[in-house]
Amino acid sequence: MDLPAPTPAKQETPLTVIGLESSCDESAVAILRRNATGGVDVLADLVLGQTQAHAPFGGVVPEIAARAHAEAMDGLVVAALAEAGLTLDEIDGIAATAGPGLIGGVMAALMTAKGLALGAGKPLLAVNHLEGHALSPRLGQPVAFPYLLLLVSGGHTQLLIAEGVGAYRRLGSTLDDAAGEAFDKTAKIMGLGFPGGPALEKMAVAGDADRFALPTPLKGRPGCDFSFAGLKTAARQIWEKLEAPSEQDKADLAASVQRAIAHALASRARRAMQVFLDDFPAIAAPRPLIVAGGVAANKTVRNALQGAAGEMGFEMIAPPSKWCTDNAAMIALAGLEKLERGAIDGLEAPARARWPLDESSAKLDPAIGSGRKGPKA
Ligand code: KG4
Ligand code: ZN
């Protein structure tokens, strides 16, 4: 779905787009306007998290998320318009995540956007959430295509090359759990709380990462795919064998798991960098390796990725964390790019639990699936 370049006529008036996001556990609305330098001005950028609502369950509960999104969306739209000092009349397009994600949640933003589009007579832009993540590095700074992106969050773990707007090539993704889920589930087994990633990182500080041997995921398998389910199971088995685990036992297991996840991410990222080098030999060092998603906050993960990037002639760039984690600014940006290219959607645009970013995989997948393998697999 390589989108055409924007038409010059459309570029003359800078377009303003509102974006809505509700595919996992963040309700978010943002408003962006194209500026004279070709970048974007973020006029409003609101996020309402649900961590407390899910904390008692140690993970995101889809029904709770869907209800909370449905309750939050209208108010967030009103608040974003007020913050931007705009009326709906002054907005040129209504963008919303249409998938992939938890289907009840996806519907909250998409249905709200459809209502706004119909009521105000504005074009609807149904955005792939993953395209939002793929374009997010361009929210704050000019990042030239092509670039390599590692997306590591609670819902996604994938490596892709962004070649242009609408042109993404997925090099690999997780076959089971996302990296963030591996952190969260291990932390849950160890009783460390939710969200598990930060809790596990804290616990790991005083730990010995050499104490427990963990399996290397997908050992010997070529390519850029990930798998974290085996690591999680191995960690659980170690945990269950520990009788009355001490704080030191917990710290050692946390450190061992954290290092295993970091190594797995760095090893596949290294392979993806090699693919990039083979495909774009003319691009000089340092080539950008963009790392987005909540797991990118982990210091051990960052160090491992930074090391691999340095060895391969890449520079690891992490966008500001507010745009790494789920947000609506990235959805509005993807919508703006679509609008500038005239890629408008009809009001029948479906909500999709699964929606691969690259066309070749997309053709193989049904429009609406169960989304069983993690919220945004
Ligand atoms: O991108 P994100 O905020 O949201 C979505 O997944 O949508 O990512 C959240 C994930 C959670 O799984 C959380 O445990 C993980 O990122 N995470 C971390 C850290 N901070 C957040 N994992 C490891 N170490 C951290 N410091
Ligand atoms: Zn996301």
Return d(Cα 353, Cα 81) in angstroms, integer. 28
Q: Where are the domains of the chain?
A: 8-137+323-356, 145-318
Structure tokens at 125: 């832009």
Q: What is the largest CA-CA distance in the chain?
A: 70
Instruction: Give the chain's length.
Output: 377
Identify the residue whose tokens are 């409003």: 44
Q: What is the pLDDT of residues 255-277, one digit of tens each?
A: 999 999 999 999 999 999 999 99
- The identity of residue 229, as a single letter, is A
pLDDT band at 12 (very low <50, low <70, confident <90, very high): low
Contact criterion met (CB below 8 Å) for 215 and 229: no
Rounded percentage of the chain residues whose pLDDT exceeds 90 = 75
Answer whether 49 contacts ligand 1 (Cβ < 6 A). Answer: no
Provide Rg for the chain, Cα atoms: 21
CA distances to 169, 273, 302 from 223, in Å = 14, 11, 21
Residue 254 has pLDDT above 50, yes or no: yes
Ligand 1 site-directed mutation target among 136, 183, 185, 376, most atoms within 8 Å of CB:
183
Answer whether 59 contacts ligand 1 (Cβ < 6 A). Answer: no
Answer whether 297 contacts ligand 1 (Cβ < 6 A). Answer: yes
pTM: 0.86
Contact criterion met (CB below 8 Å) for 75 and 329: no
Superfamily of domain 8-137+323-356: ATPase, nucleotide binding domain (3.30.420.40)
Residue 307 has pLDDT above 80, yes or no: yes
Q: What is the pLDDT of residues 44-56, one digit of tens each?
A: 999 998 888 888 8
Residues paired with residue 247 on neighbouring β-strands, in sequence order: none
Answer whether 153 contacts ligand 1 (Cβ < 6 A). Answer: yes
Distance between Cα 171 and ligand 2 center (Å): 18
Return d(Cα 21, Cα 23) in angstroms, integer. 6
Contact criterion met (CB below 8 Å) for 273 and 159: no
The protein residues having their C-beta less than 5 angstroms from ligand 2 (an ion) are 326
User: What's the CATH code, domain 145-318?
Assistant: 3.30.420.40
| Topology match between the domains 8-137+323-356 and 145-318 | yes
Bridge-based pairing of strands 40-49 and 16-21 is unpaired
Contact criterion met (CB below 8 Å) for 276 and 250: no
Judged by DSSP in three states, 289 sits in strand
Residue of 293, 301, 313, 191 whose CA lies nearest to 255: 301
Answer whether 355 contacts ligand 1 (Cβ < 6 A). Answer: no
Mean of pLDDT over the chain:
90
Distance between Cα 241 and ligand 2 center (Å): 35
Counting from 1 in the atom list of ligand 1, the atom nearest the Cα of 196 is 14
Q: What is the pLDDT of residues 122-142, one digit of tens each?
A: 999 999 999 999 999 899 888
Residue of 343, 341, 331, 348 whose CA lies nearest to 77: 331
Counting from 1 in the atom list of ligand 1, the atom nearest the Cα of 258 is 23
Answer whether 225 contacts ligand 1 (Cβ < 6 A). Answer: no
